[in-house]
């Protein structure tokens, strides 16, 4: 898009279906590289990616010619197929429906990158549910509990 200038930074968060801990550390790096390729092939900039066995965080520099929902749908669909075709889990793998998307300013990039890089240590003291609800409340996003992810408590 000629004469279109933007700064759009979005952190996307989504989980494994039924919040099962299926993402194994032996292949998570391969998954993250695969997802990075999807984001880049769609003309977007992947800034950071990391997660836990049951969920993932992706920080993206978005261009205004892309629809976030379409991008997330493609990430989920393609990575889902990738995991199942490579038989990386003993059970069929699926991402849970829905996702969270949170926007940030340029001045917050380093903070968000560090937050995503430190997921493993961060989740020693906070569950994914606590983290996700904290995001929703911090960003003042209205939600109904029954429409949130299926939580394993």
User: Does residue 152 belong to any structural domain of this protein?
Assistant: no
- Per-residue pLDDT at 4: 83
- Per-residue pLDDT at 143: 85
User: Does residue 153 belong to any structural domain of this protein?
Assistant: no
Cα torsion 122, 77, 84, 99: sign: positive
User: Does residue 120 belong to any structural domain of this protein?
Assistant: yes
First-to-last alpha carbon distance for the chain, in angstroms, is: 46
Q: How far is the C-alpha of 105 from the C-alpha of 149, rounded, in Å?
A: 27
pLDDT beyond 90 at 5: no
Contact 100, 14 (CB under 8 A): yes
- Per-residue pLDDT at 70: 97
pLDDT beyond 90 at 146: no
User: Does residue 37 belong to any structural domain of this protein?
Assistant: yes
User: Does residue 1 belong to any structural domain of this protein?
Assistant: no
Query: What CA–CA distances, in Å, run from 144 to 11, 12, 133, 149?
Result: 21, 19, 11, 11
Domain encompassing residue 23: 8-147
Domain containing 31 — which CATH number? 3.30.70.1290
What is this structure's pTM?
0.90
Which residue matches tokens 């996003």? 141
Q: How many domains does the chain have?
A: 1
Per residue in 84-138, pLDDT (tens digit) is 999 999 999 999 999 999 999 999 999 999 999 999 888 888 888 889 889 999 9
- Per-residue pLDDT at 127: 86
């Amino acid at each position: 898009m000629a004469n279109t200038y933007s700064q759009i930074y979005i952190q996307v968060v989504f989980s494994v279906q039924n919040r099962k801990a299926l993402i194994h550390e032996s292949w998570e790096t391969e998954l993250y590289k695969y997802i990075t390729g999807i984001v880049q092939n769609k003309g977007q900039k992947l800034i950071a990616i990391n997660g836990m066995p049951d969920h993932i965080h992706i920080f993206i520099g978005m261009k205004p010619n892309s629809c976030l929902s379409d991008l997330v749908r493609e990430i989920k669909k393609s990575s889902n197929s990738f995991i199942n075709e490579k038989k990386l889990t003993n059970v069929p793998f699926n991402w849970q429906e829905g996702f969270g998307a949170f926007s940030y300013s340029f001045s917050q990039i380093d903070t968000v990158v560090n937050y995503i890089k430190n997921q493993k240590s961060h989740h020693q003291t906070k569950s994914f549910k606590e983290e996700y609800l904290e995001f929703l409340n911090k960003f003042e996003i209205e939600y109904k509990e029954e429409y949130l992810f299926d939580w394993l408590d």
